[in-house]
Structure 1
Amino acid sequence: MHEAEVALLRVAPREELRNKGFYALSHAWLHLGRNEELPQRLEAALHRGADVEPDPGTRELAAITLHAAYQAEEAERARVRSFTQWW
């Protein structure tokens, strides 16, 4: 399902890109942290020219960031599962 969301972000209409970009950013903050490079770059790209629609580079940056956040989330879940199985 996560891969489908990333794929949909890559083809989302331009007028939806800002909202989807902020979704990717919030997910990245949760699972990657605010100090990581991808969330910082995406935040800067989304806030740059707030009254104009994001450029195509922002779309790909949002997709990459969302994909990385989902991978980090899966790694977190795997750690929790392995810990609970250990006990």
Structure 2
Amino acid sequence: MKNVMQEIDLLVNGCEVDFATARKIALAVAGQDEEEPMLIAWNDKARDKHSPSCLQCEIKGAPGWEIYGRNHGGRLRISINHDDYVFIYS
């Protein structure tokens, strides 16, 4: 049976959100049901940075970093401000 990743979309209004702030928000959400969630993959659209950074491919329209996250234990995808920042946790 294929694991289905839970997807959470958050919209933050009223303050600027940078990568560090977005990461703290995502960690707080991921930690609600997991004591020590592990960050598997992430993307920062504005800075055009992602991890793992060595993956530049796309598979069926999904970027390599996201495919990596899905295939390496990712159970939770947290998107902040319409994918400005995306974090995948195990």
After TM superposition, the score normalised by the length of structure 1 is: 0.30
More strand, by proportion: 2
After TM superposition, the score normalised by the length of structure 2 is: 0.29
